[in-house]
Every structure is written in C-alpha cells, then in structure tokens.
Amino acid sequence: MVPRQTATVRIELDLSDDPADYVFRHPVRVRFAETDAMGVVHHSAYVPFLEEARVEWLRALGHPYSELRDEGIELAVLELVVQYRRSARFEDVVVVHTRVSRFRGATFQIDYLLTVDGEVAALGATVHGVVDAAGRATRAPAWFKQLMTGPS
Amino acid sequence: MVPRQTATVRIELDLSDDPADYVFRHPVRVRFAETDAMGVVHHSAYVPFLEEARVEWLRALGHPYSELRDEGIELAVLELVVQYRRSARFEDVVVVHTRVSRFRGATFQIDYLLTVDGEVAALGATVHGVVDAAGRATRAPAWFKQLMTGPS
Amino acid sequence: MVPRQTATVRIELDLSDDPADYVFRHPVRVRFAETDAMGVVHHSAYVPFLEEARVEWLRALGHPYSELRDEGIELAVLELVVQYRRSARFEDVVVVHTRVSRFRGATFQIDYLLTVDGEVAALGATVHGVVDAAGRATRAPAWFKQLMTGPS
Amino acid sequence: MVPRQTATVRIELDLSDDPADYVFRHPVRVRFAETDAMGVVHHSAYVPFLEEARVEWLRALGHPYSELRDEGIELAVLELVVQYRRSARFEDVVVVHTRVSRFRGATFQIDYLLTVDGEVAALGATVHGVVDAAGRATRAPAWFKQLMTGPS
C-alpha cells in the first residue's frame, strides 16, 4: 500500500513572541486600504508587511535587494505561515521584528513577530529559496549568508 | 527552568496534493494586478484566492456568508499557511480545491489545493475561529458544522 | 509671460450611465479582502475591476491579451478616472460595462459603467497608450483597432 | 429632444507639476507586492499612495483622521483621477505632494504630484464628500476647512 502523498512543509514553527529574540525591527503604518469590513486589518494585508520588513532589513544591513539581483540572485518565497493573535486597526503602527532562524545552502527561514503598542499582533515565518535568473535553486552567496546569520 | 514561550500553531500540515481528496473546486482567473515584477503571481495574492474559494463554497452549499452574520457569527482567520510549488501567471485559471480537515467546537481548518492546468501550484490551510458579534469565541451553529463536514 | 504649466488630461468625461451605450459586460463578485473599515468596497479596489473587465473583453472577442504581447505590443495605462456613486458591498456582483469611446493612432479610451443590482455604482474611464516592447509609443495594429471599435 | 444623460464630473484638471505649488510632501517606498509583470508599479497601487499621503498630512497638521471620526465625520471619495507620466519601480521612493485646490461646503478637492528622484511620476486628484455617520452629506467642521485651506 502506498501512503497518500502529502506536502512536506519546511517551516519550523517555534516562533518566539519575545522581541529580544529578534535582531531587526521595522514599523509599518496601517493604511485604510488595508482594513476590511470587520473594521480591522485584513489578514492578507500582513503578507506585504513581512515582505517590506525583510526588504528594509537588507537595506539597513547595507545591501539592498537590488544587489542580490545584480549578482543574478532572486529570493523566491517557498512557504508562508502567519498566526493572528490580536487585530490591528487603521493608523496603528505595526512593528515587524525579524530574524533568520535557519539557513541551509539554498533555503533559509525568516521569523517575524508583529507588535502593536508592545502587544503581540501576529507571528509568522517565510521560507525562501535562493534561485538564479533561470529560476533554478542555487547556493546563496557567502556574503549573503554571513549577512543574514551574523558572525559566528 | 522555564522553557522559552513559543507559538502553539494549530495548523496540521498533512496537505494532500490529490484533487480527489477535496470536495469543492472554484476557479479564479489571475488579474494582471496580481502579478509582480518577477512576471508571476505575487505570493500575497493567493491569500484572497483562498478566501474567495471558501466564500463561494458556502454559497454553493446554499448558505452564503451573510447567513452566518445574520446569526451573529463571524469566522476569524487565526492561522494561515501556504506552500508555493509552481508559479502561476497572468490570465492563468487557478483552481482552488477545498475541504474541511478538522472541526472542533469553536475552530476548524480548511485545506486548499491550488492547481493550474492540472499541475499543483500551491497548497495551503487556514484555521478559523467562530466568534460572536463581540469577538468572543463561540461554538459553531450545528447546521454550520454539519454543512462543512458533511453527514457522518 | 508664460502660463504655469499644467497637466493636459486626455480623458473626455462624457460618461454615459445608460447600459445600452456599452457593448460588453463582465460581472465581478466582491471579495471580502476588497472591503474596508467603512463596510464597503474600498475605492482603490475598483481599479482592478476595470482591468479585469477589459482583459475579459479582449478574451471574449477572441483575442486574449497574450496575442497583443506576441505581436510585441503592450497597453500602458496613461490616465484613469473614477466617479463613485453608490457603495458596493461584500458579495455584491459588480457588473462592469465597457465601450471604446475614442481611438486615435496610438491611444484609445475605454469607458466603464459599474452597476450593482441595476443601480449605478460607479463610472470610469481609462486612456491607454499602445507601446512596443521598448516602451515607445506606436500605432495600434489594424486588427486591434478594428476589434475595439467594430466595423464602420 | 432630451440630451443623453452623462456624468457631471467635479474634478478640475489643472494639476500643477511644480512641487512649489504643493504644501505637504510624504514619501512612500514601493513594495515588491505593488509591482506588476511589466516590472513597474501597477497603476492601481498609486491609489493607496494618495490615501496614505492625505492621512499623513492630517496627522502632520496635528489632527489625525480619528479626530474627524470622533466628531462623527467621514470623508468619502467621490472622484479620482490619475495621470501616469513615468513608471516607478520596486524600492523607489515616491514622494507624494499634496494641496487642497478647492473647498466648498461639503466637498473638497485634493491635488497630488508624485515624483521619483525629482522627476514627475504621476499627477492626480481626489474629490471628497464630507458625510455624517449615516452617510449623508454635511458641511465640514469649520476647524477642518481652516486646517485644509490655511489662513486667508
């Protein structure tokens, strides 16, 4: 008997809700366009918040995303998880805290803690694949891995 | 010693990539607005596809979402996971297959299989909490649980 | 004295609110993600509705947008106007009526009438520029102009 | 003979492309989610940029939007026009310049100039209606009119 095929999800869900466990923070002011008819931020609107935070993180580290592209590297999103804890509202400032929790040769995971006024609004993680211009999986450049994981 | 507090994620990630394991299917034509500068559907754009599919599912079952609201019930999204397998493109028809994989008193999980031309594009799941008008967790109405899980 | 430079807007605002003045109609079901905290469809969400309608129109005419691209043609949006009349809501079906109101060599205008349950929800127009792969203005292919403006 | 009924559009299209004609400026960094498969910012993505700029303008004036709501006032968008001049791209900083160009009792127009690196990217305008909690047109509070139009 062949077992039913199921998805192998790479995300490891040990998401810390302690800001001290994260190394970068980026504030995002909620747009009215991001709210929904329940009066709160629509759950899909958080996904671009995560993206904005990781892009700003690279810029803050001195290596904007365009540098990766100049090396022929793209970072594809392979997996996404978000756990919603407390609704955010129009004009709230959502602080997105980020860290790299795993880095293998061609994939890495970023964890996110989202807070509003110091309260946990959401937790999340994305797994990224390093791909070349043709979309093939490739090893991350050494400088990039070092940048994201810090000296060790 | 107290272990570091981490998120308890309710999503169970046994997502089948066999369409036969799903009970409803809803096609979504990709808008140009949903593509990104990599030439494919942006990863955040799939989240409204999942929402549209579950709303259409309820309507197809004869109980549009407004009926839940008329009973003072809202379905909050508590957790979201998406695994991206193959990029979709402008004008592609993404078929979203759905099923309920778990239903407890006040929470339930919907699984999603997204295909384009019969190929797996993505897998996903959402965990929903049944809440009353004041946002408090409440048990799902019996008719709704029966509707989503079928006769048994 | 040189007058202050101001924008020359090409849109001509004689937008008919009579469905009989339009030649194509395309229904769009409102997603919950498209609502806002006022409980209605956010004004920005109508813009992709217009886009979806014109893409479907081309497909209905037997010439999907990809055919234009295969000829090295893109249609850039140069101008946009929307007049909001009556709010649409979650699960409403917005019917987008379209027509070409002007077609010059390298630009053309599409008018839109949006109705919900037969009532006018919004009116709009977009001016498009025909550009080649390098982004330069170019004349529309004859078949395309004929397609959009009909036999005459 | 009765002339065909057409829309009366209130927007006056004398949009200046001189930053000196505007009184407030707000920068918006382009998200990757806001790009499209042409490699540039999708035309619909500018609409939330305009909204974000006017909300930030009110906050900068010391009267966040929530103050209006506390007085039972909402600002509905009645009309929108955008003229696209030059594409913006991922990671560009779009500076949105704003001014009030007209203020009548219950409606007012905001003009927008959008620049990237000092070059005009787009021009736009929105007409807003002042409405009470029941959605009825009402006169703007005196303090709000004064705030938006300045001393005179």
Per DSSP, the residues of A25-68 read: EEEEEPPGGGB-TTSSB-GGGHHHHHHHHHHHHHHHTT--HHHH
Least confident of A7-11, A95-99, B34-38, C27-31: A7-11
C29 to chain B: closest CA residue: B52
Tokens 């014109």 belong to which residue? C54
Res. B112: pLDDT tops 90 = yes
CATH, domain range D19-145:
3.10.129.10
E strand spans, D4-116: 24-29, 73-84, 93-103, 107-116
Closest CA to C15 of B131, D7, B124: D7
Residue D3 has pLDDT above 50, yes or no: no
Chain D neighbors (3+ CB pairs < 8 Å): A, B, C
Any D CB within 8 A of A29 CB? yes
pLDDT of amino acid A10: 60
For residue C1, what pLDDT is reported?
A: 34
Distance CA B28, CA B52 (A): 8
Are B50 and B9 in contact by the 8 Å Cβ rule? The answer is no
The chain-wide mean pLDDT, for chain B, equals: 90
- Angstrom CA distances, B11 to A9, B55, B110, stand at 11, 20, 10
Q: Considering only A69-73, A148-152, C23-27, which range has the smallest mean pLDDT?
A: A148-152
**Cα–Cα distance for residue pair A131/B89, rounded to 1 Å:** 18
| CA distances in angstroms from A63 to A29, A58, A105, listed in the order given | 24, 5, 20
More confident residue, A110 or B12: A110
- Across the interface, of C31, C47, C64, the residue whose CB is closest to B52 is C31
Residue found by looking up tokens 């629509």 in the block: A42
Q: Which residue of D28, D30, D31 to mutate against A (max A Cβ within 10 Å)?
A: D31
Length of chain B: 152
**pLDDT for res D120:** 97
Quick one: pLDDT band at residue B150, thresholds 50, 70, 90?
confident
How many residues in total does chain A contain?
152
* Structure-model confidence comparison of residues D10 and B93, the more confident one: B93
Residue B50 has pLDDT above 80, yes or no: yes
User: Kindly report the CA angle at A124 between A120 and A128, in degrees rounded to 5?
Assistant: 155
SS3 C41: strand
End-to-end CA distance of chain C: 46
C-alpha–C-alpha distance, residues C101 and D145, integer Å: 38
Q: What's the pLDDT score for residue A13?
A: 73
Please judge whether C36 and A40 are an interchain contact, meaning their C-beta atoms are less than 8 angstroms apart.
no
pLDDT on residue B9:
56
- Residue D6 contacts C, CB cutoff 8 Å: yes
The C-alpha atoms of residue C16 and residue C101 are separated, in whole angstroms, by 10
Q: If DSSP codes are grouped into helix, strand and coil, which group holds residue A143?
A: helix
Using DSSP's 3-state secondary structure scheme, residue D62 falls into coil
In this prediction, residue A81 carries a pLDDT of 95
Q: For residue A37, which residues of chain C lie inside 8 Å, CB to CB? A: 32, 35-37, 39-40, 89-90
Chain C interface includes B47 (CB < 8 A) = yes
Chain D residues near residue C38 by CB distance under 8 angstroms:
74, 76
Mean pLDDT of B2-6: 41
CB atoms B4 and A15 under 8 Å = no
Cross-chain residue pair C44–A33, CB shorter than 8 Å: yes
For chain C, list residues with pLDDT below 50.
1-6
State the average pLDDT over residues D31-39: 96
Cβ proximity of D50 and D126 under 8 Å: yes
Mean pLDDT of A79-96: 96
B55: closest CA of chain C, how far (Å): 9
**Which among A131, A65, A72, A122 is positioned nearest to A98, based on CA atoms?**
A122
D84 — contact with chain A (CB < 8 Å)? no
pLDDT at C133: 82
Is B37 close to D33, i.e. CB distance below 8 A?
A: no
What pLDDT is attached to residue D105? 84
Q: May I ask the CATH architecture of the domain C19-149?
A: Roll (3.10)
DSSP-derived letter for residue B46 is H
Whether the CB of B81 is below 8 Å from some CB of chain A: the reply is yes
Q: Which residues of D are designated catalytic?
A: 36
Q: Answer whether C105's CB lies under 8 Å from C27's CB.
A: no
Nearest to B41 by CA among A56, A9, A54, A47: A47
Chain D positions touching A59 (Cβ under 8 A) are 91
For residue B64, give the DSSP letter: -
Which pLDDT value is given to residue D4?
A: 42
User: Which tokens belong to B42?
Assistant: 């942006």
A9–B15 CB contact, under 8 Å:
yes
Q: What is the pLDDT of residue A12?
A: 63
> Chain D partners of B92 at a C-beta cutoff of 8 Å?
none
> Please, which residues have CB within 8 angstroms of residue C126's CB and are 6 or more apart in sequence?
C50, C54, C77, C79, C80, C81, C109, C110, C112
3-class DSSP state of D48: helix
CA distance C148 to C99: 8
ipTM higher than threshold 0.85: yes
Q: pLDDT (tens digit, 9 = 90+) per residue, D60-111? A: 999 999 888 888 899 999 999 999 999 999 999 999 999 999 998 899 999 9
pLDDT for A8: 54
CA distances, A95 to each of A99, C105, D51 (Å): 13, 50, 21
Looking at the partner chain, which of B17, B77, B81 has a beta carbon nearest the beta carbon of A80? B81
Mean pLDDT of A132-149: 89
Q: Could you count the other beta carbons within 10 Å of the beta carbon of residue A131?
A: 18
**pLDDT recorded at residue D1:** 34
Q: What is the pLDDT of residue D71?
A: 87
Instruction: Establish how many alpha carbons lie within 13 A of residue D74's alpha carbon, considering only the half-sphere containing its beta carbon.
Output: 14
Catalytic residues of B: 36
Provide the H-helix boundaries in chain B.
46-60, 65-70, 142-149
Confidence of residue A71 (pLDDT cuts 50, 70, 90): confident
Which is more confident, D134 or D81? D81
Given A32, A37, A44, which is nearest C39 (Cβ)?
Answer: A37
Q: Tell me what the pLDDT averaged over chain A comes to.
A: 90
More confident residue, D136 or C50: C50
Tell me the C-alpha distance between D68 and C85, whole Å. Answer: 22
